[in-house]
């Protein structure tokens, strides 16, 4: 992987902050965009822009082809056999809500068991808390150990469950869950499974065939694409059996004064004008990632996180959250600086051009179950380097000096 060449594709990385190089370590929140994606979106508006599926004029045909082509690319990217199983949404949050509204409200009733884990992002937590309350269903949690891994034996809780939803990679600890095993266990119990791949799809090979999930959700903006475009994969037969969640244009094939007929999948879940340029950008992002190779991306980030675990772990007063073993975690490293509030850490580092995240990272139950206060998170991507990690550590040492800790 030629990181210098990759860096040259990202115009924002040339930016200086207070005269210093920008060091972007907030990829868990959103990624930066390469010129190829920026150009794909910009060229779409310069040359092709029209509404899709509606017109028979040339621009509408071109736009429709480009939108559908992105769906094909996303389908290939996650190894789905059928592009009709790919629904474009606004983001992972909307994808999960779609499952909750369209599948959950129809299929979950009083006394049914829903299983999620303690490490879920609020996007894969709140919908199930709300549904369980509304339906009188039971919500059970796969509990975490001290390192943030799902405790041994917890999968027993999947017994008798109707629905299981887990994150592939934690956005706090970077823990990579054995989603193959979780989905297999769910399937043996006759439960429907959902995997939140928001932190895995951008960083490693995600193959829905080997995972064996019924639904998989992810978000474009964390994988080089624009904001406002997300993906829900669903098994065709389950999607066919579900009612739509949003109503309006494009999701019906016939509409009368008192009746209508739903369109086929995926269109019945894509009411109204979709984010066409966002989908085009996502298609271009998929091309870009595939050109580098997902295995190479994983290897690069694993190297960075190993380096960070070793170097950061050696700094007095800094404790790293999550497992020490880099093969069990993604390129995310969350830590506490003893005696300094994470917002102070992030704000001082920002002055030095370093962007990272502080707080609960939309995963408050994880912090509570691991007995943590708000934390600081550095998250890596294809353009990050060991030198940037050195600079981060140098500045963390300065922060400690400022606070006298």
Ligand X SMILES: Cc1ncc(COP(=O)(O)O)c(C=O)c1O
> Among 183, 213, 355, 362, which one carries the catalytic annotation?
362
Query: Under the criterion CB under 6 A, does residue 199 sit at the interface with ligand X?
Result: yes
Nearer to ligand X, 201 or 304 (CB): 201
Nearer to ligand X, 92 or 132 (CB): 92
Give the Cα separation of 346 and 343 in Å (integer).
5
Query: Under the criterion CB under 6 A, does residue 330 sit at the interface with ligand X?
Result: no
Give the Cα separation of 52 and 323 in Å (integer).
47
Nearer to ligand X, 100 or 340 (CB): 100
Query: Under the criterion CB under 6 A, does residue 200 sit at the interface with ligand X?
Result: no
Nearer to ligand X, 6 or 363 (CB): 363
Q: Residue 365 to residues 110, 257, 388: CA-CA distances in angstroms?
A: 24, 47, 31
Q: In the window 34-93, what residues touch ligand X (CB under 6 A)?
A: 91-93
Nearer to ligand X, 366 or 396 (CB): 366
What character string, x for contact with ligand X (CB under 6 A) and - otherwise, covers 346-365?
----------------x---
Q: Look up tokens 């509990």; give the residue.
A: 143
Size of the residue set binding ligand X (CB under 6 A): 13
Give the Cα separation of 82 and 93 in Å (integer).
23
Residues pairing with 314 in the sheet: none
CB of 96 to ligand X, least distance (A): 7
213 is catalytic: no
- E strands along 305-385, which residues? 318-321, 332-337, 354-355, 357-359, 375-379
Nearer to ligand X, 32 or 91 (CB): 91
Neighbours of 371 (CB within 10 A): 7
The length of the chain, given as a count of residues: 405
Crossing angle, helix 276-292 and helix 294-313, to 10 degrees? 80
Let me know: does 14 contact 4? Beta carbons within 8 Å.
no
CB of 54 to ligand X, least distance (A): 28
Query: Under the criterion CB under 6 A, does residue 167 sit at the interface with ligand X?
Result: yes
Let me know: does 123 contact 304? Beta carbons within 8 Å.
no
Show the CA angle centred on residue 240, arms to residues 236 and 243, nearest 5°: 135
Q: In the window 208-227, what residues touch ligand X (CB under 6 A)?
A: 219
Show the CA angle centred on residue 181, arms to residues 299 and 127, nearest 5°: 95
From the list 32-40, 194-202, 330-338, 365-373, the region that binds ligand X by CB under 6 A is: 194-202
From the list 118-126, 178-186, 254-262, 372-380, the region that binds ligand X by CB under 6 A is: 118-126
* Residue of 9, 112, 154, 196 that binds ligand X (CB under 6 A): 196
Let me know: does 366 contact 343? Beta carbons within 8 Å.
no
Beta-carbon-side half-sphere exposure of residue 231 (alpha carbons within 13 Å):
35
Query: Under the criterion CB under 6 A, does residue 375 sit at the interface with ligand X?
Result: no
* Residue of 27, 97, 117, 123 that binds ligand X (CB under 6 A): 123
CB of 367 to ligand X, least distance (A): 14
From the list 5-13, 48-56, 119-127, 277-285, the region that binds ligand X by CB under 6 A is: 119-127
Nearer to ligand X, 93 or 102 (CB): 93
- For the chain, what is the radius of gyration of the CA atoms? 22
| Residues with catalytic function | 362
Which residues contribute to the site for ligand X (CB under 6 A)?
91-93, 121, 123-124, 167, 171, 196, 198-199, 219, 362
């Amino acid at each position: 992987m030629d990181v210098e060449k990759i860096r040259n594709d990202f115009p924002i990385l040339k930016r200086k902050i207070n005269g210093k190089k920008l060091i972007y370590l907030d990829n868990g929140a959103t990624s930066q965009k390469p010129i190829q994606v920026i150009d794909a979106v910009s060229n779409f508006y310069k040359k092709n822009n029209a509404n899709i599926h509606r017109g028979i004029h040339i621009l509408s045909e071109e736009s429709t082809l480009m939108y559908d082509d992105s769906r094909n690319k996303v389908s290939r990217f996650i190894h789905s056999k059928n592009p009709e199983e790919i629904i474009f949404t606004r983001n992972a949050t909307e994808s999960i809500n779609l499952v909750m509204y369209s599948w959950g409200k129809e299929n979950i009733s009083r006394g049914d068991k829903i299983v999620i884990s303690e490490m879920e992002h609020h996007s894969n937590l709140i919908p199930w808390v709300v549904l369980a309350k509304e339906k009188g269903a039971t919500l059970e949690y796969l509990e975490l150990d001290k390192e943030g891994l799902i405790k041994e034996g917890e999968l027993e809780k999947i017994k008798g469950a109707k629905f299981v939803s887990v994150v592939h990679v934690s956005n706090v600890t970077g823990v990579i869950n054995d989603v193959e095993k979780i989905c297999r266990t769910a399937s043996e119990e006759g439960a429907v499974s959902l995997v939140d791949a928001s932190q895995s799809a951008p960083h490693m090979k995600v193959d829905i065939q080997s995972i064996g999930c019924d639904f998989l959700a992810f978000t474009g903006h964390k994988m080089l694409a624009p904001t406002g475009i997300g993906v829900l994969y669903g098994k065709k037969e389950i999607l066919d059996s579900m009612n739509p969640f949003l109503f309006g244009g494009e999701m019906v094939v016939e509409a009368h004064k008192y009746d209508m007929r739903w369109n086929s999948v995926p269109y019945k879940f894509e009411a109204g004008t979709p984010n066409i340029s966002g989908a085009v950008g996502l298609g271009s992002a998929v091309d870009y990632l595939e050109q580098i190779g997902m295995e190479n991306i994983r290897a690069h980030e694993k190297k960075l996180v190993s380096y960070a675990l070793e170097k950061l772990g050696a700094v007095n007063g800094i404790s790293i959250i999550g497992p020490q073993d880099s093969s069990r975690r993604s390129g995310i490293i969350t830590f506490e600086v003893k005696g300094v509030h994470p917002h102070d850490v992030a704000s001082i580092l920002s002055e030095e051009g370093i962007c990272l995240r502080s707080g609960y990272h939309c995963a408050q139950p994880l912090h509570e179950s691991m007995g943590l206060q708000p934390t600081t998170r550095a998250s890596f991507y294809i353009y990050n380097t060991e030198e940037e990690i050195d600079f981060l550590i140098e500045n963390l040492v300065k922060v400690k000096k400022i606070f006298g800790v």
